[in-house]
Structure 1
Amino acid sequence: MEVPQPTFEELFRSAQHSAYHLEMRDAYGLDGDYRAWSAGHRFDPAERWPWWIELVSSAVSRGVAVHRARVVSEPLSSYARYEYELTGGHNVKAGEDVRWLPRRQASGLALPGNDFWLFDGTSVLFNHFAGDGTMTGEELVTEQAVVSLCSSAFAAVWERGVPHEEYQPT
């Protein structure tokens, strides 16, 4: 009997110590929120995505370190600028610590081919995307060699990354 894979939310809610996210794409699904922002409509991300604020703040209140590192091309794509503008009112407000690493400063790093979440240094949830940024699936991996690769990749990006409050996008 095959055991079903836990959902992202289940993995996040069961994290004991850390939930680290590495993002390496310049654009993700260009959904309605992004299109509205591109058209000049500004909104409060905390009002738009209260479930994220609750999920992260709940984890942080349990003592879970929630870190997000973004490897970005500069000048920023329109989508990355959208993310940058929403990060303070969304990710940081929820309790995430966010850092930005210009892609040109990541050339010497060994990075996996996909974005991922690393939970408690024991499991990796890879996010798979189509070329247009649409998410096509997730893959949970607990193989120690893969977990170690992702852990060291995240640590290297984190060390070089600029804290959100200090990052000045070009």
Structure 2
Amino acid sequence: MPSKSPTFDDLLAGAKRSAVHLEMRDTYYSNPRFEAWREGHRVDWNDRASWWSPFHENIADAVARGVTVRRARVVSEPVTEYIRWEHNVTHANVTAGEQVRWLPRRNASDLLLPGNDFWVFDDTVVKIHHFSGNGDSIEDEILSDPKLIGLCVSGFERIWERAIPHDQYEIR
């Protein structure tokens, strides 16, 4: 049965070894930072206070505790405007200690991909994200079914092996 708790912050704070995140959408819900970017505003990476957030702090804390945090993104090419922006702001994730890779969707045709984006913590709990067609977040499920977790971890690892490290991925 799905559960609405604990929160993402709780799950990350409780992680001891690993946290992996798979993203497979080309567009997510809009947010003020994306809208500002669309209007020409760019992040001043030298002004850390302007972009460092509690999320980045939580990632950095987890990494400092020895948790390996990895994010893989499966993207269509040419990329959407949203993915172009996301690639730019991933600098913050990497600075926080996340390892990030990108897999062009055309290179994933022979992989069985999970149906939804997710986080898996320590291979024991999965947080599944459900989105509407336009990318609005609908709900999250937190599940501990070992079979589901195994499928998610296996899918993530196959993607991770094939994906391109962030610093080597060129937006097309």
Normalising TM by the smaller chain, what interval?
over 0.9
Under a length normalisation based on structure 1, what TM-score does the superposition of the two structures give? 0.94
Corresponding letter in the other structure for 1:142: S
1:113 pairs, out of 112, 115, 119, with 115
Question: 4+ residue runs of structure 1 moved beyond 4 angstroms?
Answer: none
- Corresponding position: 1:53 with 2:56: yes
RMSD: 1.4
Q: Which residues of 2 match residues 12-161 of structure 1 at below 5 A? A: 12-44=12-44, 46=48, 47-88=50-91, 90-161=92-163
* SS of structure 2 residue aligned to 1:116: strand
Following superposition, the deviation at residue 5 of structure 1 comes to 2.1
Question: Contact 1:34–1:79 at 8 Å: present in 2 too?
Answer: yes
Q: In the TM superposition, what whole-angstrom CA distance separates every residue of 1:85-126 from its partner, at most 9, and x where no partner exists? A: 1111x1100000000000011111111110000100111100
Q: Is the contact made by 2:102 and 2:165 (CA closer than 8 Å) also made in structure 1?
A: yes
Deviation, structure 1 residue 52: 1.7
| Percent pairwise identity | 49
Matching residue's letter, 2:71 = R
Deviation of residue 49 (structure 1)? 4.2
Q: 1:10 is matched by which residue type in structure 2?
A: D
Indicate conservation of the 8 Å contact 2:126/2:149, yes or no.
Answer: yes
SS state at 2:114 partner: coil
Contact 2:4 2:140 in 1 (8 A): no
CA change 1:138–1:120 in 2 (3 A) is: same
Distance 1:107 1:70 in 2: 15
